[in-house]
Amino acid sequence: MVVLATIAFTAITTELLPSGLLPQISAGLDVSEPVAGYLAAAYAAVIVVTVVPAARLLGKIPRHALLVGLVLTFAASNAMVGLAPDFTSAMIARLVGGLAHGLLWTTMAPFVTRVVPADKVGKALAIVFSGNSLGLAIGAPVGTALGGFLGWRAAFMVLAGFGLVLTVLAFFLLPRVQRISDAVRPSLRKAIAQPGVKPVAIAWPLLVLAHFALFTYIAPFIRDAGFPDYATSLSLTVLGGSGLLGIWIAGLTVDSRPRRSLLVTTAAIALSMFFLPLAVGNFAVALVLMTVWGAGLGAIGIYNQSAILRAGGEYQEAANGLTVLTIQLGITVGALYGSAALVVGGPLLVPVAAALPVVAAWIITLANKKHAYPQGPRERVWLEPRPIATPAPEKVGRRS
């Protein structure tokens, strides 16, 4: 499980590393910062396009061999970026990494269910997918700091070397399991027809879109805001660390107060983004706002994951697959949207532009109370009148 968590950590770090090194990559490849941001957008876009056909094409490959091959592909992709002589070469390398990323997330969870006892699958998945948050909290900031000291190419080469070591560990430590026949594919058409699925499949990606619109261009914002040199890596650490806090809070409230908690969390993210440009010159205030933003981001994933599984009903597997695609589309559009905001309004207005999709997601959540985002048991109690206790008929008879 630790090896699988480390693979997840590597995948997230690979995905996010260009965001923290955007100015250096821009200068090194002789392109503008908005164009350099396409390295993040293309990574997500190739997942949207290839994840389904690639999963079908490689479905008969043993899971152990596929996972080992995917880790090796991450290493090759990062090495190609580090050695890229021009932007086109770097883009091709990122497309290779995106292909591996999409396949990884279609392979990881089924593999876990095959190698641990049924009563420990939940705990095992929690361990494995903790690598996601650690990649944001530790991997991206450390990679950014390393790129600041040794150069952006060195950061990608170190990550490539780490991937090679992880490939060896995965080969020897991951168990080999027998492949089972694929089940009948769930109906995506019927999943979309379920009441509540479409609102969640739109609102959740809007929140992801907003996050990546700002996150992709956080380095230019921090530079123009006049924050210190270490601010970019520290900001990424704060976002990742507060995301873990948000996940913990969501775990306490998702079963009892999901609707109210999601509305409050979404509003908090929007306000933190709106106010971020007002923190120019005051890094302490900016860190507080980034803490709210990061904690909210960690929490909304839990709330929306629960919502889509509930809304999907018997087609929840297909409904969940739909959100995988729409979220990746949100990441892609988010990077492009952030690029447009950077060009039109400049780095300091990117947070304001990012807040607008959050407001749209909040409105969708508010408007879809019945099926998509219903109230939890602890939210209904105070709205419903308490039943008036009356004496039992037999007791009344005895009194008379």
Per residue in 322-354, pLDDT (tens digit) is: 777 788 788 878 888 998 999 998 889 999 999
pLDDT digits (tens, 9 = 90+) for 19-61: 778 888 888 898 888 888 888 878 877 887 877 677 667 767 8
Question: How many CB atoms within 10 Å of residue 283?
Answer: 19
Model-wide pTM > 0.75? no
Calpha distance 114→109 (Å, rounded):
9
398's CB contacts (< 8 A; 6+ apart) are none
Question: Which pLDDT band, with edges at 50, 70 and 90, does 110 fall under?
Answer: low
80's CB contacts (< 8 A; 6+ apart) are 89, 90, 92, 93, 96
Q: What share of the chain is helix, strand, coil (3-state, %, to 5)?
A: 80, 0, 20
**What amino acid occupies position 265?**
T
